Structure 1
Amino acid sequence: MKKQVLFIQGGGEDGYNADKTLVAALQQALGADYEVQYPELASDDQAADFGWPAQIGKLIKAFDLVVAHSLGASMLLKYLSENKVETGAKQVWLIATPFWTGSEDWKQGLKLSTDFATHLPKDYRIHFYHCKDDDEVPFDHLSKYRQRLPSATFCEIETGGHQLGEKIRLVADGIKKEAARP
């Protein structure tokens, strides 16, 4: 039976379509033992968090592991740190994850609580991937997560930009390595 992977899209005006190439590359790198599902998240512009955490919460229950990109990665962390999670993926792979700060009104629903790390499920393994040449999410956001989540795994990538380019294979390799662990 194939391992089921949920891919959560990044944001932006056309985030779903922009990430299709990334999803296809991940599926190819993972191979036939994995099946990557890529449902489109609807954005509720009236909700401060676009309604994404609630949608993510419903989706993750049916998957072995979750890969999330950019805004989707930060919204996955928001969901996991603000809700009791009893089922679903125990492996989380985050790519180019923004760490929201600032006092602008539009950011308030995206920000994590200051103690978010203490509220994450203890049995989850969290992995971060970020390229140094990402021109959308500054690379220093990775260090903000590293300070708050020292037990997570962090992969710093020299080049690949916001979409990782061919470096998505590093994520696939990490997933396969974790799958081989007892």
Structure 2
Amino acid sequence: MKKTVLFIHSAGPQRRDQGSNNLSSYLEKELGNKYQFVFPMMPNPENPEYILWKNQLDKELNLLNGEVVLVGHSLGGSVLLKYLSEESCDLTFSGLFIIASPYWGIDEDWQSKDFQLQSNFEKKLPSIPNLFLYHSHDEEIVPFTHHKTYAEKLPQASLRELEGRRHLFHNGLPILVDDIAKLGSDEIIQ
């Protein structure tokens, strides 16, 4: 049985060459037929509400079985962390990959009670053997301080601190593909 990769996209427009569209297309192409790739359109991405995204995530997860790899880009990563720390799920997650995600409540520019994590959220996450955080040092959309905050809260995570200003990763993210591919191998992931 193929593992499933469930990709939760960013906020904002998701048409061709916008939002997470290029990154998800790249990832699906690079993973090839070794994985079942699921890329649901989340509700109202240009004016997202957590309850609507949570409900859609419930639907998507209820359609899956077997081992699941979770990938969240930007808001999608925040939503996955919030969902996993507040809801129960019977699936087995072999990896959680969080890409350029905001840490809501970190400063006055990033306030949203709707998406903010509970205090000690990290203690409420299910056991996921492989957790990765990806972020560009000089990114202009979600500052690198958000990545550092996640890294402090999630010391078990493998950190992928990337050069440059990339947020949307229009040309892909090869290290993400490599990290996902290593999940099924005996190679140690650090």
TM-score bucket of the superposed structures, by smaller chain: 0.7 to 0.9
Matches of 1:105 and 1:125, distance apart in 2? 27
Shift of 1:81: 0.5
SS at match of 2:50: coil
Which residue of 2 is the match for residue 70 of structure 1?
74
TM-score normalised according to structure 1 size: 0.86
CA distances 1:112-141 after superposition (whole Å, capped 9, x unpaired) = 011100100024532111111322111111
Distance 2:84 2:100 in 1: 18
Count residues with an aligned counterpart. 181
Query: CA–CA distance in 1 between the matches of 2:26 and 2:165?
Result: 13
CA distance in 1, matches of 2:75, 2:34: 28
Q: Percent identity?
A: 30
CA RMSD for the aligned pairs?
A: 2.7
Per-residue Cα deviation, 1:6-30 (whole angstroms, up to 9, x for no partner): 1111002x14652221111112222
Deviation for aligned residue 1:159 = 2.5
Structure 2: which 5+ runs fail to align? none
| Residue 145 (structure 1) aligns with | 150
Kindly report structure 1 stretches of 4+ aligned residues shifted beyond 4 Å: 44-48, 102-106
* Cα displacement string for residues 20-75 of structure 1 (whole angstroms, at most 9, x for unaligned residues): 21111112222331232211011399985252123223323516211110001101
Gaps of at least 5 residues in structure 1 are none
Pick from 158, 179, 182: which aligns with 2:184?
A: 179
**Partner of residue 94 from structure 1, selected from 85, 94, 98:** 98
State the distance in 2 between where 1:29 and 1:108 align. Answer: 36
Aligned to 2:7: 7
Match of 1:85 in 2: 89
Of 162, 168, 190, 1:163 maps to 168
User: With structure 2 as the length reference, what TM-score do the two structures score?
Assistant: 0.83
Alignment of 1:128 onto 2:133: yes
- Name the CA distance, whole Å, in 2 between partners of 1:45 and 1:159: 26
Could you say which residue in structure 2 is the equivalent of 1:118? 123
- In structure 2, C-alpha distance between the alignment counterparts of 1:44 and 1:78, rounded to whole Å: 17
The one-letter code of the counterpart of 2:161 is E
Amino acid at match of 1:72: G
Deviation at 1:5, TM superposition (A): 1.1
- Looking at structure 1, the residues matched to 23 and 119 of structure 2 have their Cα atoms a distance apart, in angstroms, of 31
Structure with greater helix share of residues: 1
Structure 1 letter corresponding to 2:50: D
User: For residue 118 of structure 1, what is the amino acid of its counterpart?
Assistant: K
